[in-house]
Structure 1
Amino acid sequence: MNTLTHRDTLLAVRRWLILAVVSMLFAGLLSLMLIIGRLPPFSGWLTDPMFFRRCLVVHVDLALIVWFYAFATALFLLLPSGKPSKRSGHMALVGAGGVLAMVLSAGFEGAAPVLANYVPVLDHGLFLAGLFVFGASVVITLFDGRLLAPGAGPTILPRAAITGLKAMAAVVFIATLVFVISFFETSRALEAEVYYELLFWGGGHVLQVASVLTMLVVWLILLTGLLGREPMGRRTSGLLFGLLVAPQLGAPLLALAGTSSPIYHTGFSRLMQFGIVVPVLVFLGLCLRAVWTDFAAGKLGGRGLLDPRLVGFLASALLCVLGFVLGAMISGSNTMIPAHYHASLGAVTVSLMTVTFALLEPLGFSLGTGRLPAFARVQPLIFGVGQVIFAMGFAIAGAYGLGRKAYAGDQIVRASGEVVGLVVMGAGGLMAIAGGLLFLVLTVAAWRLNRSTYNRSSRWKNPRFTPYKN
């Protein structure tokens, strides 16, 4: 059994994971405000759409940027390393300061919300500084000796996941380079909406690949713990990770063509359309084949099918495929677009939520006994089903032409189908929020339960859902 006992590494992983969870807490609270702003008749009661736009900006950045990449950074720090240092833990605190600045800036009336795709912002110095500080803290942490370290050292990760996390870090570096090039290629004289859309368009697309790579790594962690073996060979997984990274190597060239050029816009769209789907579907197919093989051989059994690792994986896989389908159905600027990305991002989120419970014991936490483990069993199911209903509601409303990025008094509902879609969206959203809040309650409870008994020399064990022994 692989073990890792270095306290600095343990502290760094815990700090980055806590930052990710806290960001989800605030993102969930803001999402509740956004759902209320969409639902009739409440949308007519609240007449300040600017308030909801500010909430939307902070919500998206917390749920899409901070949650994903703080968590991905925590996973990256689990890679084998010969020389653990305190820098990674310090960077987590720096990143937390940046996140705090982002949240506080929403209280400034002069912070104009700009709903740019991928990275919406508040056009205010404090928010932009906070976003930069968080991003820099992630990049500095990922720029680590673990990138070049051989994969033979002690780790709690499946060996196939090591290549995936290094690929994720490489894609984050590519996205950073694209952001830098785009900054110098975009005229600051443009209106804020146009400026930030052009600035974040390219790098934002590349970051989606980093999120997908993180999700695939989590699938490997969950299924390896469930099956007792890796669902595919290291060479196969490495090839698929490489197929996801390879197209992104041309991303800086697209940015160098100029952010106002047609190739900049269409090029990154094509990279996403044709560079993600096939490798992910092949990866998913191999994972499903491994699960089916063990099920057919009687190795899983009835209790194995109810294991939260499998439930979380299947929920993530369903949302991932749904995101692909809804993305193919996009035509025009309507709520089919948020239906697509809420399904796609929900796939990543439910996988991260599920693996959090698998990492509790290795990080020195535990849900103990009693009701908490029982609640943890159903949490991925509640969130996953809620997110599917939420995305389908958006899709129904979008099929009838409901415009996106409209809240409160700005929202105009013309057809009964749009109302049905919004009601379905609201019901699914509330269910997903319930699942998200349950996740937060469980993680906070695990932290409080072990706060007084945490042993600094705690051994790192293979991740598993210890309360759910088959």
Structure 2
Amino acid sequence: MSISRVSLVKGWLYLGITSLVLAGMLSIILVFSRTPYIQNIFPLIKDFRVALVVHVDLSVLIWFVAFAGVLWSVYGGERLLRVGVVSLIFSALGTLIVALSPFLGASHPLINNYVPVLNDRVFLVGIALFLLGFFILSLRSLIVIRVEGAFKSLDAALHLGLKLAAVIGLMSILEIVYTYFKIPVNLAETRYYEILFWGGGHTLQFMHTLLMLIAWVLLAVESGIDFHKSSPWVFATLFLALFAGSLGGPYIFATTSVETVEFRQAFTELMEWGVGYSVVVLALIIVYSLIKSKGGTDSKHIRAALISSIFLFGAGGTIGYLISGVNVTIPAHYHGAIVGVTLAYMGLVYMYLPRLGFSRVPAKLGAIQAYLYGIGQFIHITGLAWAGGYNVQRKVTGVEQGLDTIKKIASMSLMGIGGVLAVVSGFLFLYVTIKALGSKGTSVI
């Protein structure tokens, strides 16, 4: 990798870490404003919904896409580097506007799924610029990532997976644009944005999941796992199977109207049936390989991130089958899945830092951080799932939660304890990462 490509990789890494720093600050407001007793004295509770919108977009949409930019830039070769820089500039500018929008007067929070919004022009301009950068990033990646002999070598299988992920990214943006032109304009604003991002948002989850699987393979190899020579075709097949599921999106758009119940239900069922198989198979392969292998002390932080990622993603998926009604079981489900992806990317940050010329994160400290983050998030989603069993409502705070029984208070207190542990370990990740970014190593990819 030449220094020019290294610079592009670093740019996307800086964007991702910056988005996490900003999201982490907002997460303090979110955890405290839903924790019993603390919620009554926390002074910023009135900003809960605004903070929630910006936090979700920074910690999920922007962080995930930024790390997609890291992976695609690592494997993307030297072609069209200026196009890559343009995509990064648009994405960074959009991120800056989104983060600053509450301080520029943006309000009117709408807690719709996938891309919640502040229904103000400044925020919407920021999101539009970021999505434009994402579109350019995906298009460049589709063009420059080469695939040769995907079933013959592990590296080629990874190239195939990354190229397929770029296709899914393009599909998701095009589906959002298509929805924009097809959606009735006279809808209530919350329903409007719910529909706008429903189809493309679901498709985007296929991209995130595929990139997480690729991250699992990379982390497994870095952890000392020597996959059997027959594994490349297994990985390529799993990547193709997940990609095939994403193709249900265009079919749904072609056969239903975007404002209908059938459209909404079809994408829900697509996620239920189109994602899990590849994830389960690859998770079993890696878990079996982890049990059979002995990781070195230098890679214990990589292994910790991998194990925690698989466990949290699996926990989130399992909780999904417990959903009944509209309550906090729903965020318990998707928090588990989101954290699974985040932990995989945390592991890749630890892996790539020394390869990009920065210092290495201490393996023991990195492992402690990954396990604490995983444990904290597991406690957090367990509390939410428990509270969901008592029909505690989602997207509300304070007295609106109706915590009028000991069981409801206990479950949401458990959520708060896990949330605090996750926030602390999340800041530990940012601390060790930023410290590593501030010092130089000797190795460059």
Please state which band the TM-score falls in when normalised by the shorter chain: over 0.9
**Alpha-carbon shift at residue 55 of structure 1 (Å):** 0.2
Residues 139, 47 of structure 1: CA spacing in aligned structure 2 closer, same or farther, 3 A cutoff? same
Q: Which moved more, 1:105-114 or 1:421-430?
A: 105-114
| Other-structure match for 2:303 | 310
**Alpha-carbon shift at residue 151 of structure 1 (Å):** 4.1
**Alpha-carbon shift at residue 47 of structure 1 (Å):** 8.3
In the alignment, is residue 167 of structure 1 matched against residue 157 of structure 2?
no
Q: Give the alignment partner of residue 14 of structure 2, picking from 4, 18, 31.
A: 18
Equivalent residues in 2 for 1:255-270, closer than 5 Å = 255-256=253-254, 257-270=256-269
Equivalent residues in 2 for 1:53-452, closer than 5 Å = 53-83=49-79, 85-109=81-105, 111-144=107-140, 147=143, 149-151=145-147, 158-227=155-224, 229-230=226-227, 233-256=231-254, 257-294=256-293, 300=294, 307-367=300-360, 372-450=362-440
In the alignment, is residue 28 of structure 1 matched against residue 33 of structure 2?
no
Aligned AA (1:447):
L
SS at match of 2:403: coil
| Distance across 2 between alignment mates of 1:363 and 1:403 | 45
Contact 1:26/1:62 (<8 A) preserved: yes
Over residues 377-414 of structure 1, what are the superposed CA-to-partner deviations in whole Å (9 max), with x where a residue is unaligned? Answer: 31111111111111101111111111110113433212
Larger RCO: 1 or 2 (CA < 8 Å, sep 6+): 1
Moved over 6 A (4+): none
Over residues 436-457 of structure 1, what are the superposed CA-to-partner deviations in whole Å (9 max), with x where a residue is unaligned? Answer: 101111111111112xxx78xx
Q: Any stretches of 5+ residues in structure 1 without a counterpart?
A: 295-299, 461-470
**Alpha-carbon shift at residue 263 of structure 1 (Å):** 2.0
Contact 2:5/2:78 (<8 A) preserved: no
Contact 1:220/1:230 (<8 A) preserved: no
Contact 2:138/2:166 (<8 A) preserved: yes
Q: Which moved more, 1:84-93 or 1:314-323?
A: 84-93
SS at match of 1:332: coil
Residues 32, 107 of structure 1: CA spacing in aligned structure 2 closer, same or farther, 3 A cutoff? same
Q: Which moved more, 1:144-153 or 1:407-416?
A: 144-153
Q: Which moved more, 1:24-33 or 1:144-153?
A: 144-153
| Distance across 1 between alignment mates of 2:180 and 2:371 | 41
Contact 2:32/2:42 (<8 A) preserved: no
Residues 50, 199 of structure 1: CA spacing in aligned structure 2 closer, same or farther, 3 A cutoff? farther
The Cα RMSD (Å) is 2.2
Q: Structure 1 length as normaliser, TM-score? A: 0.88
Q: Any stretches of 5+ residues in structure 2 without a counterpart?
A: none
Contact 1:47/1:408 (<8 A) preserved: no
Q: Which moved more, 1:226-235 or 1:104-113?
A: 226-235
| Other-structure match for 1:467 | none
Residues 146, 78 of structure 1: CA spacing in aligned structure 2 closer, same or farther, 3 A cutoff? farther
SS at match of 1:364: strand
| Distance across 2 between alignment mates of 1:389 and 1:32 | 17
**Alpha-carbon shift at residue 89 of structure 1 (Å):** 2.7
| Distance across 2 between alignment mates of 1:230 and 1:173 | 31
**Alpha-carbon shift at residue 139 of structure 1 (Å):** 1.7
| Distance across 1 between alignment mates of 2:298 and 2:363 | 17
Contact 1:80/1:152 (<8 A) preserved: no
